[in-house]
Amino acid sequence: MRKPIIAGNWKMNNGIEETSHFFNSIKEKSIPPGLEVVVCPPFTSLYIADKLSDGSSIKLGAQDVYWEISGAFTGEISPIMLRELGCKFVIIGHSERRGYFGETDEIVNKKILASINNGLIPIICVGENLTQRENGETDSFIKHQVEKALKDLEENSVEKVVIAYEPLWAIGTGKTADAEEANRVIGLIRNTVKQIYSEKTAETVRVLYGGSVKPENIKQFMSQPEIDGVLVGGASLKPEVFWEIIEASKQLL
Ligand code: 13P
């Protein structure tokens, strides 16, 4: 059984004050054992998030990482530094990083390898844009992104990775993918993992959906057989809204 993940990607939101408020509001609540809850604040809020999440079962993730562990790389953050801040997860290859900061499949792959080698679980983002979808290129593009992301990964490492399917046209737009269609593409991602590795590994990898997830639509995604959870942007910023998503998911366990 794959344990479902509810992950929040705060992007460039929630400074120290909002982060303190978030964790202080949520820390008394108990996370159901059948769910893994991950919050990914900006780098500057990780320290306080680590302190305030101590004793809760909320796990922390970062939103990016560099592939070297130290050295003259001005402005970058290493996987070891993230571990020191209590991170267990790191989002890699989000479409905003690929689109605004020129991250290529090769860079994404290097970051994934470095994360795994240093004990972080990558949440690898893939997703097609609207033109690709309209041109019927979704399946081939997603397969290609997954293959490139997993290049040179050992099978026993792949079992631990998390993949997030985030169609670009559904991010921050209020427009979600149809849940059945998201389920189909996620099945294709799993099948790609099976082709590269094995059925057993493909059945272990958790694949999430992301793009305009909110309390009102969470159940339709969480009830799909291939969807192992969600990566939530805007609706993860406020503790009460994020908690509604967790509560609704709990009912489906
Ligand atoms: P929204 O939930 O705001 O659409 O963002 C999705 C996302 O990009 C999560 O990584």
Share of the chain above pLDDT 70, in %: 100
Angle at 125 between CA 223 and CA 135, to 5 degrees: 85
Please give the average per-residue pLDDT across 55-81, as a whole number. 97
pLDDT given at position 27: 82
Residue with tokens 């059925």: 199
Residue 20 in domain: no
Give domain status of residue 253, yes or no: no
Which ligand 1 atom lies nearest to the CA of residue 235? 2
CB under 6 Å to ligand 1: residues?
A: 9, 94, 166, 171-172, 210-213, 231-235
Residue 166 lies in a domain: yes
Confidence category of residue 28, pLDDT binned at 50, 70, 90 = confident
End-to-end CA distance of the chain: 11
pLDDT at residue 175 in the model: 83
Using the Cα atoms of residue 85, residue 88, residue 142 and residue 35 in order, give the sign of their dihedral.
Answer: negative
- Higher confidence at residue 142 or residue 174? 142
Dist CA 4 CA 41 (whole Å) = 20
Residue 210 alpha carbon to ligand 1 centre in Å: 6
Residue 245 lies inside a defined structural domain of this protein: no
Query: What is the Å distance from ligand 1's center to 72 Cα?
Result: 32
Among all residues, which ones are annotated catalytic?
94, 166
Residue at 155 is within a domain: yes
Using the atom order of ligand 1, give the atom closest to the CA of residue 170.
4
| 157: number of Cβ within 10 Å | 18
- Is it the case that residue 253 has pLDDT exceeding 90? no
pLDDT of residue 1: 84
CATH of the domain at 207: 3.20.20.70
Domain presence at residue 95: yes
Statement: residue 100 has pLDDT above 90: yes
Report which protein residue has its CA nearest ligand 1's atom 7: 233
Among 90, 123, 126, 232, the mutation site with the greatest number of ligand 1 atoms within 8 A of its Cβ is 232
Tell me the pTM.
0.98
Sorted by sequence, the CB contacts under 8 Å of residue 243 that are 6+ apart come out as: 26, 29
Pocket mutation for ligand 1, best pick of 163, 166, 207, 230 (most atoms within 8 Å of C-beta): 166
| Average pLDDT over every residue of 159-165 | 97
Closest atom of ligand 1 to 231 CA is 9
Q: What is the 3-state secondary structure (H, E, C) of the chain?
A: CCCCEEEEECCCCCCHHHHHHHHHHHCCCCCCCCCEEEEECCHHHHHHHHHHCCCCCCEEEECCCCCCCCCCCCCCCCHHHHHHCCEEEEEECCHHHHHHCCCCHHHHHHHHHHHHHCCCEEEEEECCCHHHHHCCCHHHHHHHHHHHHCCCCCHHHHCCCEEEECCHHHCCCCCCCCHHHHHHHHHHHHHHHHHHCCHHHHHHCEEEEECCCCCCCHHHHHCCCCCCEEEECHHHCCHHHHHHHHHHHHCCC
Confidence of residue 101 (pLDDT cuts 50, 70, 90): very high
Pull the structure tokens for residue 219. 């159940």
Structure confidence at residue 231 (pLDDT)? 98
Radius of gyration of the chain from Cα atoms? Answer: 17
Region 23-38: mean pLDDT is 92
Cα distance between residue 138 and residue 143, in whole Å? 9
Q: What's the gap in Å between 8 CA and the centre of ligand 1?
A: 8
- Whole-number Å distance, alpha carbon 47 to ligand 1 midpoint, is 23
Do 15 and 45 form a contact (C-beta atoms < 8 A)? yes
In this model, does residue 215 exceed pLDDT 90? yes
Residue 152 domain-assigned (yes or no): yes
CA of 68 to the centre of ligand 1 (A): 27
pLDDT one-digit tens code per residue, 221-248: 999 999 999 999 999 999 999 999 999 9
What pLDDT, in 10s, does the model give residues 165-182? 999 999 988 888 899 999
Q: How confident is the model at residue 137, as a pLDDT? A: 98
Domain that holds residue 131: 7-12+34-238
Residue 134 phi, psi dihedral angles, 5° rounding: -65, -25
Cα angle: 148, vertex 152, 158; to 5 degrees: 85
What average pLDDT does this structure show over 4-16?
Answer: 98
Query: What is the model's pLDDT at position 184?
Result: 98
Q: Which atom of ligand 1 is nearest to the CA of 95?
A: 8
Residue 23 lies in a domain: no
Q: Provide the domain count of the chain.
A: 1
